[in-house]
Every structure is written in C-alpha cells, then in structure tokens.
Structure 1
C-alpha cells in the first residue's frame, strides 16, 4: 500500500505522534486509503470463509474422535445428583439403571462411600499415566515437561478424603462400559420426579475432575452459579473506575484543570509529569490485570463446576469480557472524553462527531500498552515470581522447610488465551486508525509465542485437556473484534457522508455494512462447523474401530444374502427348464 494511503496527508498543526496517522487526519478527498482497506477486509473475509468451509468441518470431526486418547483414562463417568429416598445405595441405583438400559454399567459409586471409587480411579489413572508417557514418545507435541510426579494414588486418595467430608444431598458417580451410553444417559435419561437425579457427563480424564465441586443439589448448583455471576459482574463494575483512571493518568494537565487543587499537579516539573504520564498508566493497568484474574478464578471455582475444563472455559469468557470491555472500550472513551469536555459543554449535539474524530487517539496509548504488557507478562511468567517468593519466604520461616509440591506448577489455560486475544483485538480495532501498531503487535505475539513454548517445555506442566474449545472461543472473539471495528468504520463513514455529502462515503459505508454481514455469517458458520466439540460424543479409537467392524460385517452379510438369493434364483430357473423338457 502506498505511503500516501496510510495517512498523514491532513493538517499537521497541533497533531503530534501517532495521531497524524488517525482517520480524521486524512483529507476527505483522499479516499483511496478507505477503498484499499475495505477491499482488503472483504478479500480477507472471503479467504477465511474458504478456509473454514474447506477444512474446519473435517478437522473438527478428526479432533472429536482422537482427543480422548487411551480408553483407561476415559472412565465414562456420569454424575447423578440429588438422589431420592430409596435409591441412595449402589445396589438399588444400579438395579434401576439396569432395568432402564440393560447390562451397560461398569460400576456405581455413591459419593458418601467413595473409598472403592478412589482405589478404582487411582489404578485407572496410574495405568493411563503409563500409556500417556508411551504415547508422548510418538507425539512430540504432547510431551510433558520434566519433573512431573508419576505417583498419583496419594493425590487421588487425599482428594477423595476431602470429598467424603462434603455435606449435602447424596449423589453418585456411575461408570458405563461405553462412552456413547454415558453421553445418552447424560442428555436424555433422568428421574421422572422433577428436581431429582440430574445427570451430568464428566467427559474429561481423571485429572479434570474437581472433587470439591461434585455432588451439589439442584438448588445449590443454580444458586451458586447465579451468585457467582453477580459477584463477577460487580467486581468488573468496581474495576471500571480504576481502569478509567489509568487513561486519565496519561493526561495530567487536562485532569488538573478539572479537579480541585489541581494547581499542585501543574506546578510539578516537566520531567516528573512526563515520568508519571509514561509509567503510571501502564503500571496501574498491569496491577489491576494481575489481581483480577485470581479473584475471578476463585469466584468461578465457587460456582460448583465439576470439571477443570468447565472452570477454564468460564474463566476464559469472563476474563476476555473484562479485558475487551474495560481495557479497549472504557479506556478509549476515557482518553477521548477527558480532553473534550469543554467542547461537549459548548455543543451537546456534536458528541457523535467529537467521539468519531477523537477515539482514534487512544491508539497511541495502546501502542505503548501492547509493548509494555507483553514484556511484563512474559517476564512474570518466565521468572515465576510467585513460586520464587513462596520458596524464599518458606526458607526464612523454617530452616527445615521443604517444598510440599514436588511437581511443576500447572498451566492455567483460562489466562493464556485472553492475553493473546486482547492484543489481536487491539490490532483489529485500532489498526485502521494507527497502522504503526501492526508491527508492534506482530512482535508482541511472536514474543508471547516463544515464551509459552518455553513455558510448556521447562516451567509449567499441562493437566487440563481443553479439547479444542478454547480455540473456538478465540476465533469467535476475534470475529467479534472485527465486528466492532466494522461498526466503528460504518459510523465514521456515515457521519462523514452526512456532514460532507460525499458520494464516496456512502459507497464506503455500504461496503463496510456488507463486510459486517459477512463477518456475522462467518461467525455462524464457524460455530456450526465446530458444534461437535460442544455436543460431546465420546467415541474412542476402540469404539470407532468396533463401529467400522460392525459396518463391515453388516455389508458382508448383505453381500452373502444377495449371493444366496441369486443362487436360489438360478437354481429355480434351472429346475423350471428341466420340468419343461
């Protein structure tokens, strides 16, 4: 793209830094850049549509069949909650399920008496651990880091001891022989009486079970989920003014004129104000973003989610919403509004035009944020500051102190994806207004990729199998950012068309509207193609082989039947010919 199309051709008086490359700084008649961007976005969406339609459906089903791994690790467990009276022991509960489904049960374990289940699951996990280590020699991508603890019996028994102390309505874990039967029971079979025997499929491996959250009643699960959502929303609302303040810290002169006793700030030397404006916003955002995820995870775990995968999915969704809404939108509005309060007071009707002209100035703030946050996040993850601090404090507390955790720290996927997604969303939303943010974002993403590759090999260990669901959420989050950027461009072109009456602006607005429709259809298409990852049908490799064997046997029987019928027909015809003669 020529440099003239990138921007900077408008007036330069009073415009400094990256603001020269903003949309409002481009002359109205210089519409070539608008055309190039709209056509490029349309071509990119067309290419993505072609790739999705061609490959994603097959890839989703391949992942659907292959993601389970060893049959010993997949126990085909169904959690049945709130057992009614008369069905609170293993014999009566197993009898009822055998009457409904036949001989499909592997075992029935009431949670109040989970000793046998603890032993069974510990043996299964040990066997699965051995098979997983053998498979890691073949699949390099699944190789775990050194230092992982192999003895899992003690961990499982300890978890079940804490499980035995749970109080509440009785529940049971039912193990089935086939994963398809478990899926069928979890989605269709339930107790005729309302509020009893709610089935829930525990579709992960043994490592994914959160034993503290197993067995809540129907009312307790619903109330804890609702209360947790309200608490998370309140926490996000509490962080809103804090994040707004981070944007105002970069404009101390404007804030000092609005707040009382602001002359003290104006009296600061220029080097001190420059230091505060350059360091304080990034430092404040980093502190808030470092504290909020841990609070969010603690609240989500209190929502009675039985598997670690569901916990990671909930953390990913809420964390991304927090980053996008309050970091992108809230900071952008605060940066624009704090400098334009005087103009808004003079002319209230000019608010849409003022926002459309000054929101791109937030790109300067985000250019520094992308670099600073990436360096701080990678440095914090690689140095493992919390683990080092825990080790140092423990040694000072007692000279005989030893680490209670012989294994490496577990990787929390709910914190990984949103950090990368927010950088990509910033690029998508503010790339047209500030193209210089593109190389900074590319370098940041490359640095995070190298950092997490090193983390997976030497620093952390992976325990939770995400099953590709976080990848689908990442794609949908990026498509949502594209929709926000297209709404922003549509509003800009529409305001420009109404203000100037230029026919080119109407055409550009129409192109952006069509691109937004294509983005919406692409999001629906991606969700439909990846639907097998959300509607879980646990087909292991052994199950798929049995299905193919049965299909082959059925075809062989049909072919043999056709041959027998053909031979019988030929024999009858021969007999008829003999009778005639």
Structure 2
C-alpha cells in the first residue's frame, strides 16, 4: 500500500548522493527478501505454493522444479491456460502490470534518448536530480519545448492506446465469464436480482407476469426475499453452538486418545498389553472415558455443565425455535421483503431484463443486476429501502471526503501524541520511560509515531469498506469496486496534489478557495521541484513492495501459529489452511496511483518514468508468481476491477495535460500551451467514448450471446442441470419442461442460429399456468396448505438468506482408532437434528489432528 509521506520528507531529496544511498540501502533490503523467498519457497508450500495442492485439480498450478523458475513465469505461460486455471480476475492483475510495464518501457527509453539531453544541458542551473527536469530549461530556451510537446502528444497517444486495450480486454473477460461453462452450470448465471419492489408487487405470481412482459415465456421461478430479522440472531447462535459442540467433541476425543496412550504406555511398562481390535472403546478405562469437557453456563460463574450435552440441548432448542420462525417466514405474503431473485430459462434473458424499465416511478425496481452469486450478496443490505440508501450514501460520501481532506491532520495529531514526552504527561504510569537510556528512548521515539500511523493506514481500507456497506451496496464485489475508486482518490489528493502544492492541506484548500485557476499555476511551478521526491518514493515502493509481497512475512509467521493454537477442530484447520484471497481494492488503486505519478511526470521529469518502469517490472514478475501459486479469488467478476483501474488512467492524463500546459504558459510558449490544451480536449473526447464500455461491463451484448450459442446452448438443459449445485428437486422441475431440455430442442438449436431464440426453445404458454415452487409457497396461507408445506426446494434454498435455509447443520469431528467418534455421533444425532461427519479428518493417539488435502482443496466447507 502506498503510504502518505510526511511533508518534511519532500524537502532536501534532490541530492544525487542521498538518492544513490537510498537506492543502495533499499536494494540491499529487497535482495535479502528475495533471497529469503528463494530459500523458504520450497520449505513452506502451505504459504508459498498452496495453489499446487489446496485447490481443485483443474485449478492447480504445476510445481516449479528449479529455484529460479518463478522469475520466468511471465514469459513462458499461455494466457488462456492461465485464465482457465486461476480465473479472469487474478489474470487481469497480471495483464494490468504487463501493459503498464510496456507503456513505461516505451516512455522511459524515449525519455532517456531525447529528454535527458534536452533538460540536462539547460541553463536554468538547477542542482542535483532537478537538472533532469523541465525546470532546468531556461526562459530563453523555449525552442527546446517543441521536443517536449511532440513527446507529450506521442506519450498521450500511447497511454490512450493502452487504456483502450485494457478496456477491451476487460469487456472480453466479462463476456467470456458471463457465458462461461462455469456460469452456465450455476443457477446464478440465469438469475436477475431486483430491489425496491413496492408492496403491491411483492407476489411471485404478479412479478412473474410482469417479467414475462419483458422476456416472454422465459421466467422459470420468482423467489422473493423474506423478513429474517427475528431469525438472524437465532441462526448465528445456532452456528456458534455447532462450532462450540465441534470444539468440545474434538477436545473430548483428544483427551481420551492422549490419556489412553499414556495408559497403554503404563501397561507396557508393567509388561501388559491391550488389544483394541477385541476391546475397542470398551478397552478404555472408565476414568478416561468419563473425562468429558465441562464449562460454566454463564462464562465465569454459574453451574458447571457437561459441554457436549449442553451444546446439544441448546442446538435442539434453537432448532425448534428456528422451525417455528421459518414456518412463519415461509408462509404469508406479509413476510415478503422488497427484493427478489428471478430465474430465467436461458443465460441471455436476465441481461435483457436488467436493462428494462420495469416501473414508472423513479427509484422503484430500478436497481437490477444479472448474474449475482448468492455467496457474494450482503443480505442485510438487499432489502434496504431506496431512500434510506440515498441518505446513507450521502453520509458515507461526506465521511469519505472528510477522511480524504483531513487525513494529514489526523496523522499529524497521532504522531504528535505518540511522542514519549506527550505520552508520559498524559499517562503518568508510563513515567518509567523517562528512566531509560537516551539511546533506547531515541529508538522508541523514532519507531512509535511511524508504527501508529502505519496502524491507522491499515484501518483506512476497513473504514472505506464499512462506509460502502453502510451506504447499502448489494454485493461484496460492489464494495471492492467502490474501494478502488475511493482509495485511488485518497492517494491522488493526499500524496500527489497536497505534497505538490504546499505540503499543507490547509494552505492547499485556502489556495483553491481564493483563486481556483491559480491551482494549475502552482502545480506547474511545484511539480518539477518535487519530482525528485517522487523518484525516491517510487523507487522505494518498487524495491520493497514486490519483495515483501513474495516473502509474505506476516503470513509466514501467523499461518503456522494459527494452525498451532487456533485450529483445534477439523473445521478450524480447514479454514486456516485455505489459500489467501486476493482483494483487489487497495492494491489495484495503489498501482493505478503509481501509474498516475509516472504519467504526470512522463515529459516533465523522465527519471520518474524509469522508476515506474522498475516498479511495474518487479510487480509483473511478483504477480505472475503470486496469482498462479498463492492467491485465490472469492467471487469472480470477469474483469470489473480491471475496468475500474483502466478508467483511472484518464485522471493521470488530465493532470499531466493541465500541468504541462501550465508549464508552457509559465515559459511563455503560447503555441505549445495551446496544443497541450488541444490534447486535453481530445482526451476528454476519448474519455466520453470510453464511458460507453460501462454498459458492456453490465450485461452481455446480444451479438456475443448469439456467437456463443452457435457453439454452446444457452438454455438450461439436462446436462447442465446435472451439474447444478442444487440437485434433485431442480432437476426434476427443469426436466419436466421438455420444450427446453429435450434432445430434439437442442438439435434444433444447432440447426439454425435464428431458431436458437425461437419460442419453441423457451417455456410454452401452458407452462405459465403451472405454479412454480415459489408461487406455491406464496399461497400457503391456509392452515391446510401450511401442514403440507415442507419448506423451500433445493434450488430455492440457494437464494434465501442463510438463516432461512432449513438444512440441518453438519458437525465435523475427527475419527479416532478408539471409536469415540462413533459414540459422539450417536449422542449428537439422537439429541438434535445435526449430522455428524468425520470426512478426511483423523486424530491419532498423540492428539494430532490431520485433514486430508483433498477435503481442503474442494473449496466448499463441509
């Protein structure tokens, strides 16, 4: 993450000797990190290569045999193979680094050949590294600025080319993802989410007829969300009790195994033995078998109870309450909330419906999204009213703007109170620090403010994510995409603009208020002078960032500790063993910001471009390894983050064009300034054209769907139904609609491209008269219907809040050679509805629990 530097660091950085010293020191640290990574990579595959064995077989990367193989991954891998293996989002990060590396390779080479000689031989007399900037061109040397102007246009053209290459690739990835076999094998690929449904339309039958007007004969089911306010707390406690039961049961099995091993050792010492094959669990002495875990009901006081029995009792009571609450939620239209999942019969239909105007009132049923994964949904936000989201969004925006503007003040305040003198005055009990030697106090004083500010920085993404959720974002993907833009804006304002203008947020704001046009003049005067700071800033990040990313010091230390002390059950081991999930928000925004710095200075201080070349080169190598061998993605978006990052490069062009035009004006190069403003106008035109890609990122174009249908069937057929995560109930329903799923219909789809969209390949009119499962559920208001109703079917469960899903919980315990796990299974399943399993989990007589990698690699928690 790119930290905001203290304003004092901006001064006195133009010395060549200090620059060389900084490069040597940071290079030594980076070299040490890379060496440690090479040594540790093979020894700790759980940290450095989990994708070779802890993901499904089709997603695994081949092990690297040689110690240097990771250095050449970027040049010897096929893109399509990598996309299929790691997913479009992880590959998009590699692609983004590759394109930025290439653009800065061109800019740096041309800058070294043309701009360096032009600026170094200037007569302005700038010292140190400032001799390599446009500021070293004297006022009587304006003819030299024609070369600067020519390269400005050339570099802008190259950056625009890269932007549109990124946008086209993002759209291509998005469409391939939406039409991919994985998406066609998932119900979410056929689903549209609609929010802000008025009460008069909260009926599955009414909604179905309404959506049929948009996509005739293609609506298979309508699933309205339900009120779960009373259920959520019960469900959370139910899951918590399940986890506690697993922990207590595993502790009991471990206690019995360990103590029995000691008992065996004692018998062997006395010359006796025990045959477990004959005795089994009966061979365990009663005093060991009865060593069951206990706890106090009220945490630290109250009656001591048997933990296993108590958690079983609590689960049984909660199951009864949950059944009653779910029955009420399932029946009665008054329990319907303002959001619904609409399931269509083909893959293209939800995208068409997402673009339609359903209701005549602004804000009503206007928020629609196709292909939403239920696991990506923020359920508490799904039914948040439209006007509440507007108010919350405004509050979140104001807080976000306040954070951006006043961040420098906040960090300065924290750094101030973090001084030892201030702390000992505020907190007298810390007075012993005054007795420490001066050298020790100096070290603490130097580290403490930095650590405190670093902690605050680590909290910023969490704060921004919280604000997005507070504002009512529907999915975690939307939260992460918002974070990319917010964090990028934060860096541009606090690092680039504030540092450049004055180093003081108050002075900058006052200048903007007093004379807004003067801001660009100030930027033009200041940017060449502070370019050497950004040279040091970027090279520091280029050397330390990728090396730290590869070494993963925190993960290397914490993962073994978590497995050792926090993973006391098979489920906890499963969770702690999962590969790291790559969250795009912060890193993508940081990389876009460095690209913005490089583009801003590309003809002003070409040395910055060389540092950016190193930055993106090192990150390209690092991400080529990390994405293939370390990171997974929780929810694939198919290029949405790449699209957001590409659009941010327009901001970089705007800043560069305004600054270079201001520099030309300062040097009275009027024609060059006019041509620079012309470049700005052209960039605005290209930006407006680029905005059209926004629609392509939302929905699949008809042309792409037609092209795909010539090779694959976009309607749900029997083969796809068998692959769906929902099983028998869904398969029986869709197989019954033979006009969609029959072999004859599929043959017709192949025969003619036009017939692929004909009515005989969709639900027939007579099928509209049949009630779907959700409609049947909506009509169970009578006591007679309620008695017959058995809850949602398998496919409907996927689109219900987790608290509404009636499936019994799974208690996962390890199996043991003493068969204690069998006794626990009998006790649990006779006492509540939970199902006990020990799939892939074994505990030995030493108490060590192992979980097979096949179970961990499945990616689905048992």
TM-score range, shorter chain: 0.5 to 0.7
Per the TM alignment, residue 494 of structure 1 is displaced from its structure 2 partner at its CA by 1.2
1:182 equivalent in alignment to 2:365: no
Give the TM-score normalised by the residue count of structure 2: 0.47
Partner of 2:676 in structure 1? Answer: 512
Aligned residues: 466
Contact 1:80–1:173 (8 Å) recurs in 2: yes
Aligned runs of 1:18-167 on 2, under 5 Å?
18-46=129-157, 62-63=172-173, 65-68=175-178, 69-70=180-181, 71-73=184-186, 74-85=188-199, 88=202, 90-91=204-205, 93-94=207-208, 97-98=211-212, 102-112=216-226
1:34-91 CA deviation, whole Å, 9 max, x = no partner? 22121122234445667888x7897677545422212123432222334444654545
Deviates more, 1:486-495 or 1:102-111: 102-111
> In 2 relative to 1, CA 422–8 (structure 1 residues): closer, same or farther, beyond 3 Å?
farther
Deviations 1:530-555 (A, max 9, x none): 6422455486565465689644669x
3-state secondary structure, aligned to 2:612: helix
- Secondary structure (helix, strand or coil) at the match of 2:692 reads helix
* Aligned residue number for residue 569 of structure 1: none
Whole-Å separation in 1 of the counterparts to 2:666 and 2:449: 32
After superposing the two structures, state which structure 1 stretch, 409-418 or 281-290, moved more: 281-290
Other-structure match for 1:483? 654
Matched, 1:363 2:531: yes
Distance across 2 between alignment mates of 1:423 and 1:247: 26
Q: Tell me the equivalent position of 1:473.
A: 644
> Residue 459 of structure 1: which of 624, 630, 650 is its match?
630
Match of 1:305 among 467, 470, 473: 473
Where in structure 2 are the equivalents of 1:71-470 lying within 5 Å?
Answer: 71-73=184-186, 74-85=188-199, 88=202, 90-91=204-205, 93-94=207-208, 97-98=211-212, 102-112=216-226, 169-191=337-359, 197-198=365-366, 200-205=368-373, 207-242=375-410, 289-335=457-503, 356-388=524-556, 390-391=558-559, 394=562, 400=568, 402-403=572-573, 404-470=575-641
Secondary structure of 1:409's counterpart equals coil
Distance in 1, Cα, partners of 2:453 & 2:127:
24
- Say whether the 8 Å CA contact 1:56–1:529 is kept in structure 2: no
Partners of 2:699 and 2:566 in 1: how far apart? 51
Deviation at 1:325, TM superposition (A): 1.4
d(CA) in 1 for partners of 2:413, 2:526: 18
Match of 1:9 among 116, 122, 132: 122
Q: Secondary structure at the match of 1:175?
A: strand
Q: Alpha carbons of 1:246 and 1:470: their partners in 2 closer, same or farther (altered >3 Å)?
A: farther
Q: Are the aligned partners of 2:473 and 2:479 in contact in 1 as well (CA < 8 Å)?
A: yes
If asked which structure has higher relative contact order (CA below 8 Å, sep 6+), I would say 2
Supply the distance in 1 between the matched residues of 2:128 and 2:449 (Cα, whole angstroms): 18
How far apart are residue 509 of structure 1 and its match? 1.3
Structure 2 residue matching 1:448: 3-state secondary structure: helix
Give the match's secondary structure for 2:348: helix
Aligned counterparts of 2:648 and 2:485: Cα–Cα separation in 1: 9
Work out whether residues 244 and 330 of structure 1, in 8 Å CA contact, stay in contact via their aligned partners in 2: no
Show structure 2 runs of 5+ residues with no match. 1-112, 229-321, 330-334, 417-438, 509-516, 714-748, 757-862
Preserved contact between residue 152 and residue 603 of structure 2 (Cα < 8 Å): no
Q: What's 2:9 paired with? A: none
**Matches of 1:56 and 1:233, distance apart in 2:** 29
Tell me, yes or no, if the aligned pair for 1:409 and 1:459 is still in contact at 8 Å.
Answer: yes
Question: Is contact 2:119–2:131 with CA below 8 Å preserved after alignment?
Answer: no
Contact 1:104–1:178 (Cα < 8 Å) also in 2: yes
Taking structure 1 as reference, are residues 85 and 30 closer, same or farther at Cα in structure 2, changes over 3 Å only? closer
Contact 1:82–1:171 (CA under 8 A) maintained in structure 2: yes
**CA separation of 1:436 and 1:310: change in aligned 2, threshold 3 A:** same
RMSD across aligned positions (CA)? 4.5
TM-score, normalisation: structure 1: 0.67
Shift of 1:95: 5.3
* Deviation (angstroms), 1:175: 0.9
Shift in CA distance, 381/550, structure 1 to aligned 2, threshold 3 Å: same
- Structure 1 gaps of 5+ residues are 115-160, 249-270, 341-348, 498-504, 555-581
The 2-side partners of 1:309 and 1:380 are apart by: 26
In 2, the alpha carbon distance for the partners of 1:488 and 1:189 equals: 43
Change (3 A) 1:522 1:458: same
- SS of corresponding position for 1:306: coil
Change beyond 3 A, Cα 1:21–1:466: same
For 1:246 and 1:433, how far apart are their aligned partners in 2?
Answer: 35
Residues 108 and 172, structure 1, Cα contact 8 Å, conserved in 2: yes
CA contact (8 A) 2:396 2:468 kept: yes
- Deviation string 1:250-300 (CA, Å, 9 cap, x unpaired) is xxxxxxxxxxxxxxxxxxxxx99xx99x99999888665433223212322
Query: Which shows bigger deviation, 56-65 or 222-231?
Result: 56-65
SS of the residue corresponding to residue 606 of structure 2 reads coil
* Deviation string, structure 1 residues 442-499 (Cα, Å, up to 9, x no partner): 11111111222222122210233333333333333222212211111211221221xx
Deviation, structure 1 residue 339? 13
After TM superposition, give the deviation of residue 98 of structure 1 in Å: 4.7
Residues 282 and 369 of structure 1 are in contact (CA less than 8 Å); yes or no, is this contact kept in structure 2? no
Judging changes above 3 Å, is the alpha-carbon distance between structure 1 residues 91 and 369 closer, same or farther for their aligned structure 2 residues? same
**Partner Cα separation in structure 2 for residue 60 and residue 353 of structure 1:** 37
Would the alpha carbon gap of residues 63 and 280 (structure 1) be closer, same or farther in structure 2, given more than 3 Å must change? Answer: same
